[in-house]
Amino acid sequence: MDLHIRDEGDGPAIVLLHAFPCDGSMWDAQAAALRAAGLRTLVPDLPGFGKSALLTTAPNLEEVVRIVADEIAARGIDRYLLGGLSLGGYLSMAWLRVRSQSVLGLMLCDTKASADGAAAVLNRERIAREVLANPDDSGAILAEAMMPVLVAEDSRANEDIMHRVTSWLDSAAPESVAWYQSAMAQRPDSHGDLARFTGPALVLRGEFDVMCGHDELQSMHDALASSIAVELPGVGHLAATEAPELVSAALVEFVTTQAK
């Protein structure tokens, strides 16, 4: 399929997976910092977002992993560090189920290992129905449903942050929104996958992330054999966008001290 990956720099490889419904540009600041620290950064637009075409298969996060992992392998990269935020974190945990041998170290940002409860599944199904029924209003539907939980209240006063997030919401195709809502609703609990991972891990969340609370961070930290837990003050769910310098510093410190 037509998958777009920003592949820049030299050195050990790190793959960064973006949040829903963003694209790979969400990681621009962190990718630049990691390249400056001597890493090769691979940042895909996940299928259906940015410049990448949506999969034609039934919604399934493991299939996204296979597509992206196969493209990375085609570039001659067999093992790499793996990081993801929100949806990117769900995919990173799915990676442990289908491509675990490739993952040298894991960075889970503003995400959770637990499966969706019944209310969350119903909400995803509602959003999927609404955007497909009203494609011209898809961005507004997403903004109403998600903006209060995507971005911390203080960050919503920042015009630059709001412009970036709004542009992602408006650019997301209704078909992609519906596909990923269904795929995320079907994801299993991943604590067992984390428990089987023996490499170094970083678990990070924003202090004001209401989608992925402190208990979720703690449960992932407890499940992992070797992990560091970090909470960033004053930051919400889209930490990489709200506090790019803090997230960049945390990732660089992890890969240079823990994941060598």
What pLDDT score was predicted for residue 187?
97
Distance spanning both ends of the chain, measured CA to CA: 33
Q: What angle do CA 63, 34, 7 make, to 5 degrees?
A: 50
CATH number at residue 28: 3.40.50.1820
pLDDT at 179: 98
Query: Domain containing 240: what range?
Result: 5-114+189-257
| Helices 174-185, 138-150: crossing angle, 10 deg rounding | 50
Confidence of residue 258 (pLDDT cuts 50, 70, 90): confident
Query: Does residue 42 fall inside a structural domain?
Result: yes
pLDDT given for residue 4 in this prediction: 97
Check residue 170 and give its pLDDT.
96
Average pLDDT, integer, range 227-255: 96
Average pLDDT over residues 144-157: 94
Three-state DSSP at 187 gives: coil
Query: Is 146 part of any domain?
Result: no
Mean pLDDT of the 5-19 span: 97
Mean pLDDT computed over 18-26: 98
Confidence of residue 260 (pLDDT cuts 50, 70, 90): low
CB 55 within 8 A of CB 67: yes
**Structure confidence at residue 259 as a pLDDT band (50, 70, 90):** low
Residue 166 has pLDDT above 80, yes or no: yes
Q: Is residue 179 part of a domain?
A: no
Predicted structure pTM score:
0.97
Is 177 within the bounds of a domain? no
Between the alpha carbon of residue 195 and those of residues 152, 200, 221, the distances in Å are 31, 12, 10
In a domain, 176, yes or no: no
In a domain, 9, yes or no: yes
Coil, strand or helix: which one is 73?
helix
**Where are the strands (E) in the chain, listed by range?**
5-8, 13-17, 40-44, 80-85, 103-109, 200-206, 226-232
pLDDT in tens, 182-210: 999 999 999 999 999 999 999 999 999 99
Q: At what angle do helices 118-133 and 174-185 cross, to 10 degrees?
A: 160
Question: What does the angle CA 259 – CA 240 – CA 40 come to, to the nearest 5 degrees?
Answer: 45
The pLDDT of residue 10 is 93
Confidence label for 51 from pLDDT (cuts 50, 70 and 90) = very high
- The answer for residues whose C-beta is within 8 angstroms of residue 140's C-beta and 6 or more apart is none
Task: Please state, in angstroms and rounded to a whole number, the distance separating the CA atoms of residues 61 and 72.
Answer: 17
| Mean pLDDT, the chain, whole residue set | 96
| pLDDT higher than threshold 80 for residue 181 | yes
pLDDT exceeds cutoff 90 at 152: yes
2 phi and psi angles, rounded to 5 deg: -85, 95
Question: How many structural domains does the chain have?
Answer: 1
What's the rounded mean pLDDT across residues 112-134? 97
Strands across the sheet with 5-8, in order?
5-8, 40-44, 13-17, 80-85, 103-109, 200-206, 226-232
Number of helices and strands in the chain (H, E): 11, 7
| pLDDT value of residue 41 | 98
Assigned domain for 28 exists? yes
